[in-house]
Amino acid sequence: MFNMESVRVEYDALGEIEVPNGKLYGAQTARCLKNFPIGDEFERMPFSVIVAMGVLKKAAAEVNVDFGLDLKIASAISKAADDVISGNLYCEHFPLGIWQTGSGTQTNMNVNEVIGNRAIEILGGKLGSKNPVHPNDHVNKGQSSNDTFPTAMHIAVAHELNHSLLPNLKKLKNSLQEKSQKFMSVIKVGRTHTQDAVPLTLGQELSGYVKQLEYGINRIQNTLPRLYELAIGGTAVGTGLNTYVSFDEKCTKKIAELTGLPFVIAPNKFEALAASDTMIEVSGALNVIAASLMKIANDIRFLASGPRCGIGELILPENEPGSSIMPGKVNPTQCEALTMIAAQVMGNNVAVTIGGSNGHFELNVFRPLMVSNVLRSIKLLSDGCYCFALNCVNGMETDKERVAFLLSQSLMLVTALSPHIGYDKAAQIALRAHREKTTLKESAKASGIAESDFNNWVKAEDMLGPTVYKKKSTC
């Protein structure tokens, strides 16, 4: 318990409880801290959720003036909500963790209490008195945790996707696009099954990564319309009990004005409260991006392996020493960080999927789990893409001599012979060259292919795309 001089006594529906003096939260927040001491400060409800709740409460207060809320109280609530939106109150006055009730009720009340007490301060009242501003009657007017928390989830995730992930995904895509264009004439060995294959250019190879990210960007953008649908106005079970006609429409319009994002009323509030399919859809899109980044980062890691005893076709920036024991060693650390991020996002997606599948009757009760994992994935992917573009791709170069040497050693150039001598004979030439450790040309000559024909038929630069068909003359 706190020292009596450092606490005040507040009450909720269950009775009295001590609250630390100087804290803007109240009884229900203090009770939650007592009942859910799970995790440390790193398990706290995400900052962006609290900011989104501040936006929602500000919107509701201003709209509720049309439905009987005293203008003086509404103005104080709106100003207090601005302090929440600014982030200035987050660390000290929003201590609750993710692991609480599955509807987010405690966080909704934490926000109500902080805004209520801050509004009381603004109006010159006594902290914790609930007079003249009550956290439920005024700050939460026309609302329920069951509609405010999913609304805040959508606001927070939509904001982070628009202002964080999408810009950094595009940054990485553009960086890879620039390298793809720069290396479009660098002909190299292709690899399938991790074995030598027919040639392509390094630019063509990188263009595949660019397209993967384009698809990822499109997937994220395709989730936004559903994210813009808000549950506000559904209250407890979706019926809108204790609100007024047009409350939902006006709140949603106000939230759109405050955020600059095109939020609309959820077309079916029963679905909006009972299910969280939109979060699963967003998480699924993030999971696809994670899978793409895992492949891209691993390819770049392997192409840069060496520098002398691996593939060594790419040269990555030397950002930091790679070993505490091996002098001069440099490692593909940005690739390693990005692949770890990808693995974490895949794990987060599993948790979100399980959470979304566990909506029971009129309410999903895994929401803090879902939104925290989705926001964590967004943050990790956003920062990871930014760092990978800045500290790896932008400074990435190719070792043209190494690329040319490896290409000259490839036995799969024999594929160019197939149209002229047939698959079986071409295979025999390649296998003989491999067994006898000779060049492809030497093996072809030993099989009766004229050197001039070999030189005309086997040109890596002619193997980079389909051949224009020329119909034989019948004359």
Partners of 97 in the β-ladder: 44
Q: Closest Cα to residue 212, out of 296, 136, 142, 282?
A: 296
* CA 282 vs CA 161, 216, 227, 248: distances in Å: 10, 11, 9, 24
Task: Please list the helix, strand and coil fractions of the chain in percent, rounded to the nearest 5, in that order.
Answer: 60, 10, 30
Cis peptide before 225 (omega within 30 of 0): no
Phi, psi (deg, nearest 5) at residue 469 = -75, 130
Q: Read off the amino acid at residue 429.
A: I
Alpha-carbon gap, residue 410 to 401, rounded angstroms: 15
In the residue annotation, 175 being an active-site residue is answered as: no
In the residue annotation, 78 being an active-site residue is answered as: no
Which element (helix H / strand E) includes 457? helix 451-457
Alpha-carbon gap, residue 307 to 318, rounded angstroms: 12
Q: Closest Cα to residue 172, out of 396, 359, 432?
A: 396
| Residue of 193, 324, 452, 473 marked active site | 193
Phi-psi region of 157 (alpha: psi -120 to 50; beta: other; left: phi over 0): alpha
Alpha-carbon gap, residue 313 to 303, rounded angstroms: 5
DSSP 185: T
| Residue of 86, 185, 323, 408 marked active site | 323
- Report yes or no: 428 and 447 within 8 Å, Cβ to Cβ: yes
Instruction: Name the one residue in this structure whose structure tokens are 């920036």.
Output: 317
**Nearby residues of 133 by Cβ (< 8 Å), 6 or more positions away:** 73, 76, 77, 116, 117, 119, 120, 123, 125, 139
**Nearby residues of 287 by Cβ (< 8 Å), 6 or more positions away:** 345, 346, 349
Burial 303-322 (b: 16+ CB within 10 A, else e): bbeeeeeebbbbbbbeeeee
Q: Closest Cα to residue 179, out of 209, 214, 213?
A: 209
What counts of helices (H) and strands (E) characterise the chain?
Answer: 18, 10
- Report yes or no: 227 and 282 within 8 Å, Cβ to Cβ: yes
Q: Is 198 helix (H, G, I), strand (E, B) or coil?
A: strand
What is the gyration radius of the CA atoms in the chain, in angstroms?
A: 31
The residues annotated as belonging to the active site are 193, 323
